[in-house]
Chains A and B, each alone.
Chain A
Amino acid sequence: MSTTTTDLQNELDAVEGSHTSHDDHHHGPEKGLMRWIKTTNHKDIGTLYIWFAFTMLLIGGAMAMVIRAELFQPGLQLVEPQFFNQMTTLHGLIMVFGAIMPAFVGLANWQIPLMIGAKDMALPRMNNWSFWILPFAGAMLLSTLFMQGGGPAFGWTFYAPLSTTFAPESTDYFIFAIHMLGFSSIMGAINVIATIMNMRAPDMKLMDMPLFVWTWFITAFLLIAAMPVLAGAVTMMLTDRNFGTSFFDAAGGGDPVMFQHIFWFFGHPEVYIMILPAFGIISQIIPTFARKPLFGYSSMVYATASIALLSFVVWGHHMFLAGMPIGGQLYFMYATILISVPTGVKVFNWVTTMWRGSMSFETPMLWAVAFVILFTIGGFSGLMLGIAPADIQYQDTYFVVAHFHYVLVTGALFSIIAAVFYWLPKWCGRMYNERLAKIHFWWAVISVNVLFFPQHFLGLAGMPRRIPDYSLQFADFNMISSIGGFAFGASFFLLTYIIVDCIRNGEPVKDARVWESAKGLEWTVATPAPYHTFDSPPSKEMILKESSHIHHVEGSH
Chain B
Amino acid sequence: MLGNRFLLRSKETSFFFKSLSFLPLFFISQNAFAEFGFNLPKGVTSISRDIYGLHMLIFWVCVGIAILVFSVMAWSMYFHRKSRGAVASNFHESTAVELVWTLAPLAVLIAIAFPATKVLIDLENTEKADMTVKITGYQWKWQYEYMNEGVSFFSNLDKASRDATGSAEARANHANYLLEVDNRLVLPTGKRIRFLMTSNDVIHSWWVRDLGVKQDANPGFINDSWAKIDVPGVYRGQCTELCGKDHGFMPIVVEAKSEADYNKWLDDKKAEQKAAAAAGDREWTKDELMVQGQKVYSSTCASCHGVTGQGVPGVFPAISGSKIASGDVKGHIAIVMNGKAGTAMQAFGKQLSDSDLAAVITFERNALNNHTGDLVQPATIKSAR
What is the interface of chain A, defined by CB distance below 8 A to chain B? 73-76, 80-82, 85, 147-150, 153-155, 159, 161-162, 165-166, 168-169, 249-251, 255-257, 290-299, 321-323, 326, 329-330, 333-334, 337-338, 340-341, 344-345, 347-348, 351-352, 354-361, 369, 372-373, 376-377, 380, 383-384, 387-390, 392-393, 395-397, 457-458, 460-462, 464-474, 476-477, 549-550, 557
Contact = CB atoms under 8 A, between A and B. Distances in A.
A147 B315 CA distance: 11
B18 to A, nearest CB: 17
B215 A290 contact: no
Contacts of B205: 321, 395-396
10 contacts: A166-B139, A292-B90, A322-B223, A340-B109, A354-B77, A356-B89, A380-B66, A390-B58, A393-B40, A465-B242
Interface string B94-126: 100110011001100100110011011101100
B51 interface: yes
B291 interface: no
A383 B62 CA distance: 9
A119 to B, nearest CB: 31
A389 B122 CA distance: 10
Interface string B233-245: 0001111111111
Most B CB within 10 A of own CB, among A81, A369, A471, A557: A471
A250 B219 CA distance: 7
B50 A337 contact: no
B91 A169 contact: no
Nearest to B165: A76
A396 B204 CA distance: 11
Contact of A387 (B9, B116, B313): B116
A557 B91 contact: yes
In order of increasing CB-CB distance, the 9 nearest A-B pairs are: A250-B220, A467-B248, A461-B37, A149-B314, A148-B314, A380-B62, A396-B240, A358-B88, A323-B223
Interface in B66-82: 66, 69-70, 72-73, 76-77, 80-82
B315 A469 contact: no
A247 to B, nearest CB: 13
B70 A373 contact: yes
B113 A355 contact: no
Nearest to A462: B209
Given A341-B105, A464-B240, A390 B55 contact: yes
A389 B54 contact: yes
A326 B88 CA distance: 51
B154 interface: no
Given A296-B94, A387-B116, 17 more contacts: A75-B165, A75-B171, A81-B246, A85-B242, A161-B219, A162-B243, A255-B221, A291-B82, A293-B90, A333-B116, A333-B120, A340-B105, A340-B109, A392-B51, A465-B240, A465-B242, A471-B179
A76 B72 CA distance: 47
A347 B121 CA distance: 33
A358 B81 contact: yes
Contacts, number: 302
A384 B55 contact: yes
Interface string B177-206: 111000000000000000000000111010
Contacts of A293: 90, 92
A257 B221 contact: yes
Contact of B72 (A161, A351, A462): A351
B219 A295 contact: no
Contacts of A347: 69
B266 to A, nearest CB: 28
B87 to A, nearest CB: 6
Contacts of A377: 66
A354 B80 contact: yes
Nearest to A155: B242
Nearest to B197: A323
Given A323-B218, A337-B112, A356 B98 contact: no
B248 A389 contact: no
Nearest to A356: B89
A513 to B, nearest CB: 16
Given A159-B241, A466-B247, A472-B171, A389 B123 contact: yes
A351 B76 contact: yes
A467 B171 contact: no
Contacts of B342: 165
Contacts of B117: 330, 333
Given A169-B314, A356-B89, A153 B244 contact: yes
Nearest to A355: B76
B160 interface: no
Nearest to B104: A344
Interface of B: 8-9, 36-40, 50-51, 54-55, 58-59, 62, 65-66, 69-70, 72-73, 76-77, 80-83, 86-94, 97-98, 101-102, 105-106, 109, 112-113, 116-117, 119-121, 123-124, 139, 164-168, 171-172, 174, 176-179, 201-203, 205, 207, 209, 212-216, 218-221, 223, 236-249, 312-315, 342-344
Contact of A384 (B59, B166, B241): B59
A548 B247 CA distance: 51
B73 A472 contact: no
Nearest to A82: B245
A357 B89 CA distance: 6
Contacts of A298: 93
Given A321-B214, A358-B80, A473-B8, A462 B109 contact: no
Nearest to A343: B105
B315 A351 contact: no
A74 B88 contact: no
Contact of B51 (A76, A340, A393, A469): A393
B36 to A, nearest CB: 7
A513 B112 CA distance: 47
Given A166-B344, A295-B92, A467-B247, A345 B40 contact: no
Contacts of A290: 80, 88
Given A161-B202, A466-B242, A334 B315 contact: no
A76 B54 contact: no
Contact of B177 (A81, A166, A471): A471
A85 B245 contact: yes
Contact of B202 (A162, A168, A340, A355): A162
Nearest to A287: B92
B92 A550 contact: yes
A376 B241 contact: no
Nearest to A369: B77
Contacts of B70: 373, 376
A11 B83 CA distance: 37
A340 to B, nearest CB: 7
A348 B69 contact: yes
A360 B90 contact: no
Given A360-B81, A460-B38, A341 B314 contact: no
Nearest to A550: B92
A395 B344 contact: no
B212 A162 contact: no
Contact of A557 (B83, B86, B90, B139): B90
Contacts of B90: 292-293, 550, 557
A358 B82 contact: yes
Given A154-B242, A549-B92, A380 B65 contact: yes
Given A337-B109, A358-B87, A359-B86, A457 B37 contact: yes
